[in-house]
Amino acid sequence: MTERVSIFITLLSLAALYWVVSTCHSLVVGVFSLYIFFFDEAAIADPLWGDPSLGSVNIAITSGYLVSDLLLLVLYWRAIGDKLFVIHHCTALYAYHFVLKDGVLVYIGNFRLIAELSSPFVNQRWFFETLKYPKFSKANVINGVLMTVVFFIVRIVVIPPFYHFVCSVYGTEPYVRLGLLRQCSWIGSCVVLDIMNVMWMIKITRGCIKVISLIRQEKARSHLQNGKLD
């Protein structure tokens, strides 16, 4: 019994460390990505071949995080393992190795990292679940709504303009210079990641709608009971 309690405490500590590191990583790379997207003139001027130092550092940080995260997922699979996370991390690492090795698509890679700004809200939901917060608590509901909105903005809204950009550079001289392998790797990895983002968005939206609907039903029931008492 004592051994089981000790293992449980260890797993909780590991999960807490995992979530804290994930949140810190997402905030750092998310803010850097926004800065590069809006203000890095060299990268904006040449989005396919521009190689801004901050952009490369940002992707290196993410690559290091993804590798360490994969190791944690494998070592502690029973506690935090998730097949979709493994697919996500491996796909992202495959794409980012071209960025770091060849110094290409740095601006594009950082644009994709804006999606990390949704992670703090996802992690906060895990914290609430671990701390046994009621699903209908004010903090949980507010975080759930914010998570849904931010996830939609940084992971779904950006999909159409991203592929519009891909179409706009297709066949241009900088695009041709990438070569077939890098072209297919860039577009293929983005398609895989976006399919996963859409799947997660559907799941998050359903959960959010369900909670809001239950809250409304509870309020209606309370009003009805109060009316009967009056």
pLDDT in tens, 72-84: 888 878 777 789 9
In order of 19, 64, 78, the CA distances from 126 in angstroms are 8, 23, 16
CB 105 within 8 A of CB 99: yes
97 assigned to some structural domain? yes
CB 199 within 8 A of CB 142: no
Q: Pseudo-torsion of CA 30, 33, 34, 37, nearest 10°?
A: -160
Does residue 115 have a pLDDT over 80?
Answer: yes
Does residue 228 have a pLDDT over 80?
Answer: no
Q: What percent of the chain has pLDDT over 90?
A: 63
Better-scored residue on pLDDT, 6 or 91: 91
Determine the pLDDT at residue 14.
Answer: 67
69 assigned to some structural domain? yes
Across the chain, mean pLDDT equals 88
Does residue 230 have a pLDDT over 80?
Answer: no
Of residues 156, 159, 140, 153, the one with CA closest to residue 199: 156
Name the pLDDT band for 50 (thresholds 50, 70, 90). Answer: very high
Determine the pLDDT at residue 225.
Answer: 65
Residues 6 or more apart whose CB falls under 8 angstroms from that of 86 comprise 70, 73
Count the domains in the chain.
Answer: 1
227 assigned to some structural domain? no
pTM, whole model, 2 decimals? 0.86
Determine the pLDDT at residue 13.
Answer: 67
pLDDT digits (tens, 9 = 90+) for 147-180: 999 999 999 999 999 999 999 999 999 999 999 9
Q: How far apart are CA 230 and CA 217, in angstroms?
A: 20
119 assigned to some structural domain? yes
229 assigned to some structural domain? no
Name the pLDDT band for 211 (thresholds 50, 70, 90). Answer: confident
Q: How far apart are CA 160 and CA 156, in angstroms?
A: 8
43 assigned to some structural domain? yes
Q: Pseudo-torsion of CA 168, 172, 174, 176, nearest 10°?
A: 120
Q: How far apart are CA 228 and CA 19, in angstroms?
A: 47
Place of tokens 């809204």: 157
228 assigned to some structural domain? no
Name the pLDDT band for 132 (thresholds 50, 70, 90). Answer: confident
Better-scored residue on pLDDT, 9 or 202: 202
Angle value at C-alpha 21, between 54 and 35, nearest 5 degrees: 25
Does residue 5 have a pLDDT over 50?
Answer: no
Does residue 187 have a pLDDT over 80?
Answer: yes
Q: Pseudo-torsion of CA 202, 204, 206, 210, nearest 10°?
A: 180
Q: How far apart are CA 223 and CA 230, in angstroms?
A: 10
Domain that holds residue 82: 2-222
